[in-house]
Copies of this chain bind each other. A is one copy, B any other.
Amino acid sequence: MSAVPMISESQSLDMTAWTQTRLSRVEQALSQWVGDGAPAGLGDAMRYAVLDGGKRLRPLLVLAAYEAVCSGATASEVHDDAALRAGMDEAALRAGLDEAALRAGLDEAALRAACAVELIHAYSLVHDDMPCMDNDVLRRGKPTVHVQFGEAQALLAGDALQAFAFELLTPDNTLIPAATQATLCRLLARAAGSAGMAGGQAIDLASVGVALTEDQLRQMHRLKTGALLQGSVLMGAACGHAVGAAYQALSDYGAAMGLAFQVVDDILDVVADSATLGKTAGKDAAADKPTYVSLLGLARAQAYAQELLAEAHEALARSGLPDTRALAALADMVVRRSH
């Protein structure tokens, strides 16, 4: 790969255009893939849960991280091309894949990873909304999945969406190297599982009415929301075969941005109204759940979100990657959003 000139962060990126291009690719892929081959009722519930809604923050993080790594100045600095080739399928090796074909495989991997994290996010919302959990009837201004399709179908649709995330990551007859497929499954499984999202939800369940320390609250939020957001960044980085300092910096970016997301969520639950949020406001306080606002007060929670944002920017600055503008803009968006 030839050297790419360093792009200054101050050089402007048309983030609206950047986002629209990526979103349209993701929406098209989700629309094509989700529910395909499923029995009718189940497929309908899966599509209802995933399509036509959501900010798609996680897919955008995957793609932004992937593109940031691909912007890398030299191959040896940010990529590990030897590992990439070693992980390639025999068929690809036999076919004597050139650089362009290799890149096409990685582009496909990034798109699949973007969709897979969104499926995990979507399934978690379906299960979270069920009567035995948050018992929510409204999501993104529409009836929740169990209200629309019944509880049993909602349970199954969530289960099937989780399985489908891993299916998306492991296509056969593909240019995506086997090593990339395995790495993506590993990152997603860890981010979604008992030491990630599901674990965070379990701590959340157990914490109702309990006074948590700030450390305990941070740990809960890191798992519940942060793990999948950070996982999105890591999956994008893995698609570009990032290594060393670049990978570590992206990981730190993901951790700070992921926690910032939840701090802002806690703030919005207090300051926004239900119409703006598209879900019930004031729920945490009503449910006596510990939040950053209840623990630190509103002003200190807001200051903490800004600190985390600065941390995220600092991590990007030391990544050695020449163009991290989309990642920077996404972190800004996470902290400055109104819903």
Interface of A toward B, CB cutoff 8 Å: 35, 37-39, 41-43, 46, 82-83, 86-90, 93, 123-124, 127, 130, 132-133, 150-153, 155-156, 158-160, 162-164, 166-167, 169-172, 177-179, 181-183, 185-186, 188-190, 192-196, 198-199, 201-203, 205-206
List 17 additional contacts besides A87-B90, A163-B189, A167-B186; criterion CB under 8 Å.
A83-B89, A86-B90, A86-B93, A87-B178, A89-B179, A132-B152, A133-B152, A133-B155, A156-B205, A159-B192, A166-B166, A166-B189, A170-B186, A171-B186, A172-B186, A178-B179, A182-B185
Residues of B within 8 A of A132 (CB): 130, 150-152, 155
Would you call B203 and A39 a contact (CB within 8 A)?
yes
Would you call B189 and A38 a contact (CB within 8 A)?
no
A150: min CB distance to chain B, Å: 8
State the CA gap A162–B185 with chains docked (Å): 12
Would you call A130 and B155 a contact (CB within 8 A)?
yes
Would you call A42 and B163 a contact (CB within 8 A)?
no
State the CA gap A132–B150 with chains docked (Å): 9
State the CA gap A132–B181 with chains docked (Å): 35
Residues of B within 8 A of A189 (CB): 163-164, 166-167, 170
Would you call B39 and A202 a contact (CB within 8 A)?
yes
The interface residues of chain A, by DSSP majority, are classed as helix
Partner of A42, one of B155, B159, B202: B202
State the CA gap A86–B164 with chains docked (Å): 27
Would you call B167 and A193 a contact (CB within 8 A)?
yes
Would you call B170 and A185 a contact (CB within 8 A)?
yes
Copies of this chain, count: 2
State the CA gap A87–B89 with chains docked (Å): 6
State the CA gap A172–B182 with chains docked (Å): 9
State the CA gap A150–B133 with chains docked (Å): 10
State the CA gap A166–B181 with chains docked (Å): 12
A56: min CB distance to chain B, Å: 21
A281: min CB distance to chain B, Å: 22
Known contacts A42-B194, A194-B35: does B155 contact A202 (CB below 8 Å)?
no
Known contacts A87-B89, A159-B162, A182-B181: does B38 contact A199 (CB below 8 Å)?
yes
Would you call B202 and A41 a contact (CB within 8 A)?
yes
Partner of A38, one of B124, B178, B194: B194
Known contacts A182-B178, A199-B39: does B193 contact A160 (CB below 8 Å)?
yes
Residues of B within 8 A of A130 (CB): 132, 155
Would you call A202 and B163 a contact (CB within 8 A)?
no
Residues of B within 8 A of A196 (CB): 163
Chain B residue nearest in CB terms to A172:
B186
User: Can you offer 17 A-B residue contacts whose CB atoms are under 8 A?
Assistant: A38-B202, A41-B206, A43-B194, A86-B88, A87-B178, A127-B159, A152-B205, A160-B198, A163-B193, A164-B189, A164-B194, A166-B166, A169-B185, A171-B186, A178-B182, A182-B182, A185-B185
Would you call A198 and B163 a contact (CB within 8 A)?
yes
State the CA gap A159–B205 with chains docked (Å): 15
